[in-house]
Every structure is written in structure tokens, then in C-alpha cells.
Structure 1
Amino acid sequence: MLVEAGRKAGVPIAEATLIRDGVNVIYEMAGVVARVGPLGSLPVAARQIQASRWLADAGIPVVRAIDNIDQPTVVGNRPVTWWVQLPDHRHATPAELGEVLGRLHALDVPESPSLPIVDPFEGLRESIDGGTALPEDDRAWLRDLTEQLHSEYLALVPELPRCVIHGDAWQGNVVVPRTGGAPVLLDLDHIGIGPREWDLVSLAVDYTDFARITDLDYQAFVAAYGAYDMTAWPDYRTLATIRELRWTAFVLGKANSNPEAAQQVRHRVACLRGKISRPWSWSAF
């Protein structure tokens, strides 16, 4: 598929190397990164290109779409987008992530590109229904939890101001060139309009439920963002559990064909069900 996309776009792909095989399949070659989206994801891919150009114009350092290619390139109902390869880089510190999110959330909501309302429950029910690696008792419990959280979310979200949010804000989606320069925002699949709390909750959960970052690092994140501490918000636990449920559903989607993922998702459900005390330890997938 990449060969055909490269031919259509005029990009030589002879030296292409696979760097990630996930929801998006990502290759790198001389100065270019190709992202192959899943079937039927053309609207998402097109929005990524538009959002990248809008963010750059707004002064947010962001991964850059290659300008002299008609994007996305579509092959077999799968979109391929082409990006400028970043120099060697590292993940952002909590403070760097907080600073970037503060700048992003301060932007005016644009008329163009038209950004969707972010739905934290998108795809959750389908993942649970299809996750036959879990016993039916666990899946029934996850369905009930999803409905409970959805009701809580619908009750609280109308009271929250909306802004442009990244939608999947963690330290790996903001990177810093090792040669110097500003932190760069990556992975625009989920960018849209929503409450700022949805962007802030991932790092807060890393702090409160997993002890992945120190108190000093979390306070640096809060200060860099603008002195707003998610963990002190009365409805923090609702969004925290939604985020953890999404992380669980992601692994559940791999569990039918991956024994390690099946073992990990059982562990995650046990945590969510209160059978394992915090701080939790979840393996990455």
C-alpha cells in the first residue's frame, strides 16, 4: 500500500522503515514520515492536515504536514498523510507539557478548520462488546461502568467552558528536539473542541493513581499550565476513571489475538473493580 501511495504522491519510499504498527501504521524515510490511517479514516486524516497548518499559523510549534503534496493520499479507502520528519527528540517534561497545553487552550476556537466536539466515549461500547478475551461478567461490569460515567459526564460537561483541546495529551505527544528548540505538539488524531479538563486529566492520573511522576513534577505541570490543579476539581474522579477506562479498552482491543494483552486487560479490570489498591502498575501497549 505504501508503494502505491508513494507513487501517487510522488514520494520515494525505497528507504522506508516501519516505526510503529498501531491504529496508524507509521513509516519514516529520508526527511519524511508517512502515517497510514485505518480504513475509512479520511475525514480524520484531512482534519489532521488542516489542524497542523492552523496551529502553525497560530504560533503553536506543531508537527508539520509537507506542503507540496496533495494530502491526504488515499489508497484502498485508507488515507496516507506525509509529514516533515522531526530531528532526534525526547518526550516533554510535565512542565513542558503544561506550558504547551496552556498555549493551546488559550487559542480562540476557529471557524476554519471546523473541529469536532471531542467525545470521550467514542468507540468504548464497541470495544467492550468485541472484547471476548474478557469473561462476560467483566464485560457486563464495564458496560455498567460506561453507562454510569456517561451519565456523570453529561451532567457535568455543560457547566465547563470549551476550548480547542488536543484530546490525547500526554508527555509522548509533546516532544522536544535534543538539539534545542521549542516543544512540538504531535498526533493530531483527536484534536477538537471540549473541556480543558479532558487534556489535563491524563497527567493528573499518572500522578494520583500510578505514581509515575513525582509531586514536584506534578506541581511544575500545574504551575506551567497556569496554576489550575485538576486533582482539586470536585469531579476529577469521573474524568480520571473515564481516561482509565479508555486505556483499558485500548488493550482490550488487542487482547483477542495477543495473550499478553489479554493478561494485562484482566489486570486493568481488576484494578478498576477495586481488587488491587492504588498506585497501580500497568504495562504499556
Structure 2
Amino acid sequence: MTAHLDRLRPVLRRAAEIVHLDADEAELIRDGNNVMYSLRGGIVARIGAPGSGEIALREVAVSRWLETAGLPATRAIADLPQDVRVDDRPITWWKLLPSHRPGAPSDLGTMLRRLHHLDPPQDLHLPEHDPFSGIRDRIQQASWLNGDDHTWLIEHEHHLNDAYSSLASPSDRGVIHGDAWQGNVALLGDGRTVLLDLEAVSYGYRDWDLVQIAVDFTDFHRLSRESYQGFIDSYGGHDMTISDNFRVFADIQELRWLAFALSKAADNPAAMRECRHRLACLQGDIPRPWTWAAL
């Protein structure tokens, strides 16, 4: 394991000392926006970005609320302090899942149907979902973009923001996951499913939770008609692709995926090439269905 991939082990050790845990044999699970380690005793340490303490504590509160509501989701450990900070990074403690794999589209549909039928918690303030969060910053920080592409992206974001602000469907709003795709539903060996990654749970348009898998079917052909129909049926029969809001939500989601690539491109030639490809797709130079490489 390189030092880069294990960059936050000193933070983990200091956090573990605070709560009297042994991190000597901790194993790195994931190095992303949140860095996760598994510790002995079936404990997962989740290390957030600097300044993200409020988000981390809300994720813990959402986990506890979902447990009370009877929806199976990743569980924060009740008897460990969840307000630990090291170098302004929040460290929260979670139960390690047993062996699992990503759920199928139908598993995701069933989980979202259950989540979307829950009433918003009275004692937990969920933020208003903002699908544009971080997009403009990532565009502005991509200094390698030429002037025309930079201008086009800013104008495209403005146009989509205006279109989103014009939506008027209050009956279609409620508790949403915020980043709903098959990888955020774990299928355990005994057939049970568990909802993962709760940091984007918020109040917003329920259709937002349906758009990722919808564009996988329509714009990328990553899903067969049978798999997508399984998602529709398990969710309750609502097909996002025939919604009046579909194209607005789809274009925002695809801009988000481009913005993520922009954030990786400055020191990554493969990400740079992928950015240019994704931008050409959004600008209409490459017809759908598209093929985008994972980053």
C-alpha cells in the first residue's frame, strides 16, 4: 500500500486513541471523499473531509432515524462518541457489514419505495437537496479548459439551474437518498438489503433518486429493458423517463458526472481525456448512447 493511498492513517490513530480503540491492524477500505478503515471488532471508521463535521453528524442522526423507522441501513455504533475531530476532520464509527455485493436494479427500486414513503423526521432537520452543489466550483477550478468550453459550461449550468428552479411539483417531494444507484444498496448473503452512504439524505424531488438508473438505461444503455423494467416494477410502476422533468434531471446528473471528472483531471491524463469526451457528448458532438469510462 502506498503512502498516498494510506494518507490518513495518522488521523485514524489519533481518533482511535480518543475513543480508546486499537487501530494498529486497521485496513483501508476506501479512499475517496470519505476515507474508511475497518478495525478489529467489526468497526468501521469513516473519516470525512475537513470542515464536514455537520454533514457527518447528520449522517449519524439519519442512520439512527432509519433504524427507528425500520428501514435497513448502515448503522452508526451507539456506544462510541460520534463527535470526534482530528485536523478538522470528523471521524464517525459504524458497524462493519458482513460479506455483500451491490444490489440489482430491483433491489434499489424496493429500497427507494420504502424510503420515499417515510415521513420526514420531526427532530432532524434535513437540508434542501441541491443537485448543483459543487458543480460551479469544479468548473471554475478547471483552468485548463479553453475559453469557449469554459463559457459553454457556465452557460449550460445557468440554463439547467433556471430550468430546475422553474419546476413546480410539491406533491413529488419528500425524503430522498440523494445519490441513489445500485452500489449504494448492499445485498447480503442471506438476501437482505441494506442502504449505504447516507450523507446526501435530504428533502427534495423524489424523481432525483430515480434519474441515475434512468439515464443508465436511456443515454448509456448500461441496463437492459428487462433490468430497467424490474426497477420500475419494484419501485411501484413510476417510469422516470416519461416524466415531464426527466430531461432536466438527466442533464443535471450528466453535468454532475462531468464536473466530477473535471475535479480529477488536473494531474490525471486519463481523467483529462475522459473530461474532453464527456464534454463533447454534452455539447452534442457525439450521439447517444454514450460510453463513459469510470474514474
TM-score bracket, shorter-length normalisation: over 0.9
- 1:284 paired residue among 283, 289, 294: 294
Q: Distance in 1 between matches of 2:277 and 2:94?
A: 37
Percent identity, please. 48
Q: Which residue of 2 aligns with 1:191?
A: 201
Q: Which residue of 2 aligns with 1:38?
A: 49
Q: Which residue of 2 aligns with 1:9?
A: 19
Give the drift of 1:22. 1.2
Please list every run of 5 or more consecutive structure 2 residues that lacks an aligned counterpart in the other structure: 1-10
Q: Which residue of 1 aligns with 2:134?
A: 123
Q: Distance in 1 between matches of 2:213 and 2:168?
A: 20
Give the drift of 1:133. 3.3
Contact 1:134/1:262 (<8 A) preserved? no
Give the drift of 1:157. 4.4
Q: Distance in 2 between matches of 1:207 and 1:29?
A: 38
Contact 1:52/1:65 (<8 A) preserved? yes
Q: Distance in 1 between matches of 2:279 and 2:141?
A: 15
**Do structure 1's residue 201 and structure 2's residue 211 form an aligned pair?**
yes
Further displaced range: 7-16 or 204-213: 7-16
Q: Which residue of 2 aligns with 1:135?
A: 146
TM-score normalised per structure 2: 0.94
Give the drift of 1:243. 0.4
Q: Which residue of 2 aligns with 1:108?
A: 119
Change in Cα spacing, 1:133 to 1:24, as seen in structure 2 (3 Å) is farther
Please list every run of 5 or more consecutive structure 1 residues that lacks an aligned counterpart in the other structure: none
Q: Distance in 1 between matches of 2:291 and 2:89?
A: 35
- Tell me, what secondary structure is at the counterpart of 1:156? coil
TM-score normalised per structure 1: 0.97
**Do structure 1's residue 24 and structure 2's residue 34 form an aligned pair?**
yes
Q: How many residues align?
A: 284
- Tell me, what secondary structure is at the counterpart of 1:82? strand
Deviations 1:176-219 (A, max 9, x none): 11x21421000011110001001000000100011111000101
Contact 1:3/1:13 (<8 A) preserved? yes
Change in Cα spacing, 1:159 to 1:112, as seen in structure 2 (3 Å) is closer
Q: Distance in 2 between matches of 1:256 and 1:5?
A: 32
Which amino acid in structure 2 is aligned with residue 255 of structure 1? A
Change in Cα spacing, 1:259 to 1:117, as seen in structure 2 (3 Å) is same
